[in-house]
Amino acid sequence: MPDVRLVNVTKKYGKIVAVDNVSLHIYDKEYFSLLGPSGCGKTTLLRLIAGLVHPDEGEIYIGNKLVNDVPPEDRDIGFVFQTFALFPHMNAWDNVTYGPRVKGFNVKKAETIGHEVLEMVKLHQRLDAYPNELSGGMMQRIAVARALAAGAQLLLLDEPLGQLDAKVRNDLRYEIRRMTKDLGLTAIHVTHDQSESMVISDRIAVIKRGRILQVGSPKELYMAPKSIFIAHFIGESNFLEGYVSSINGKQLTIELRGGTEIKVIQQNMRKGEGAVLAIRPETLVVEKGRKKKRNSMLGIIQRTTFEGTNIRYEVKLENQDLVVVVKPSMIEEWLNLGEKVTVNFSPEKIRVFAYPEAGLREELTVE
């Protein structure tokens, strides 16, 4: 069964270390995403698994078999690329049944598979259409159908939804996941879009500069980011700087710029140490007026943006820091520009990190 295991895999292009000592276990029948900014090495990782490039160091196993020396065509992998890689001179039907035919299946079997997968991607009506007669979303569904029809148990998808408009992209996320689950496939999906990886994946590996920073379920990455970068890259966070002014058991008091003290629960910090608080915008509570109390700060609404589902406030705090607060627009009473407000912090929802050695700005840099 196709689980995929990488052990200390490194791939260099001259001086560029595209993949830097990566170890990773993708389970059988898992929908797994490789997520990271442009140039972080996602495609290279996928090409290593496909056998299109070779590692300088390390081992790659597919279903317990060491495949370092196995050519791509013998790895039994389906591949979907970002650009629509259909054969332009073949109609949808011929594109989809190409795999089974090349494999030498008899005509009847190839046709059965073709009908099944076209049914799955809901393009049965268009089997006579040539790629240039199909929309981008349709072409990509045909590309997925073609990969599925080839019968591989392991599907590699490189930014398969990258070129599609937002609505089609959203719908296709669910469809692709459903199809791979229905067929019991292992899928490895490359994307730089964190919201896409969140909705489509069982687990995600976040990659930066060729290295894996954290692997976890979407919920784990969102709720328990292990680094400032992950808190920044997955979802959205406010970052407030301060230092540990006192420690009482697990409770830390962080003094923020300007002197406001926030009490949080956290271990592994020392008194006097520089700290960064990571706070999700939806965990902040804003109230009209100035009601200074524990774990609160005064501020002024500096910008409001109506986003449909949510209303988004930028609040200038009294210490001049800016925080973003997001509230459900149909539920909350809206606040006005320039309004004086109190921002309340929920200590149990704040994550505290040691101030990064290279500085906060560098840590947050996406490239």
Ligand X SMILES: Nc1ncnc2c1ncn2[C@@H]1O[C@H](COP(=O)(O)OP(=O)(O)OP(=O)(O)O)[C@@H](O)[C@H]1O
Exposure letters 99-112 (e unless 16+ CB within 10 A, then b): bbbeeebeeeebee
Q: Which does residue 86 touch among ligand X, Mg ion, none (CB within 5 to 8 A, set by kind)?
A: none
Site string for ligand X, 239-268 (x = CB under 6 A): ------------------------------
CA dist 136 and 131 (Å) reads 9
Task: Kindly state whether residue 97 participates in binding Mg ion, applying the rule CB under 5 A.
Answer: no
Neighbours of 357 (CB within 10 A): 8
Which segment (38-46, 101-109, 118-126, 272-280) binds ligand X by CB under 6 A? Answer: 38-46
Judged by CB, which is closer to ligand X: 22, or 264? 22
Does the protein bind ligand X through residue 118 (CB under 6 A)?
Answer: no
Interactions with ligand X, residue window 94-113 (CB under 6 A): none
Q: Based on CB atoms, which residue is closest to Mg ion, 191 or 342? A: 191
* Per CB under 6 A, 161 contacts ligand X: no
> What minimum distance in Å lies between the beta carbon of 42 and Mg ion?
5
Task: Return the structure tokens found at 309.
Answer: 């589902």
Q: Is 55 in the site for ligand X (CB under 6 A)?
A: no
Of 31-60, binders to Mg ion (CB under 5 A) are 43
Q: How far is CA 191 from CA 27, 157, 196, 282, in A?
A: 19, 9, 7, 25
> Measured from the CB of residue 38, what is the shortest distance to ligand X in angstroms?
3
Other Cβ atoms within 10 Å of 80 Cβ, number: 24
Binding status of residue 42 toward ligand X by CB under 6 A: yes
What are the beta bridge partners of residue 353?
A: 276
Residue of 24, 33, 41, 317 interacting with ligand X (CB under 6 A)? 41
Q: State the binding partner of 140 from Mg ion, ligand X, none, CB within 5 to 8 A by kind.
A: none
Q: Within 10 A of 353 (CB to CB), how many other CB atoms are there?
A: 21
Least distance (Å) between residue 80 CB and Mg ion: 13
Task: Name which of Mg ion, ligand X, none residue 2 binds, using a CB cut-off of 5 to 8 Å depending on partner kind.
Answer: none
**According to the binding rule CB under 6 A, does residue 238 interact with ligand X?**
no
Q: Tell me, residue by residue from 175 to 194, as one string, x for binding to ligand X by CB under 6 A and - for no binding.
A: -----------------x--
Q: Cα 239 from chain centroid?
A: 20
Residue nearest to Mg ion (CB): 43
In terms of CB distance, is 9 or 40 closer to ligand X? 40
The CA distance from 321 to 29, in Å, is: 46
CA distances 248 to 113, 192, 253, 266, Å, are: 65, 41, 8, 10
Q: Report residue 79: phi and psi, to 5°.
A: -130, 130
The least distance separating Mg ion from the CB of residue 192, rounded to whole angstroms, comes to: 8
Residue 45 or 244: the one with the smaller Cβ distance to Mg ion is 45
Say if strands 251-256 and 238-248 run parallel, antiparallel, or are unpaired.
antiparallel
Torsion of CA 129, 134, 189, 16, to 10 degrees: 110
**Identified binder of ligand X from the candidate list 24, 40, 96, 317, rule CB under 6 A:** 40
Please report, as a single letter, which amino acid is at residue 138: M
Angle between helices 92-102 and 107-120 (to 10 degrees): 130
Among 33, 44, 95, 310, binds ligand X (CB under 6 A): 44
Q: How far is the CB of 11 from ligand X (least distance, A)?
A: 8
Burial of residue 166 (CB within 10 Å: 0-12, 13-18, 19+) is exposed
φ and ψ at residue 73, rounded to 5 degrees: -70, -15
Residue 44: contacted member of ligand X, Mg ion, none (CB under 5 to 8 Å, by partner type):
ligand X
Q: Which is nearer to ligand X, 36 or 55 (CB)?
A: 36
Of 4, 6, 9, 18, which one interacts with ligand X (CB under 6 A)?
Answer: 18
What residue ranges bind Mg ion (CB under 5 A)? 43
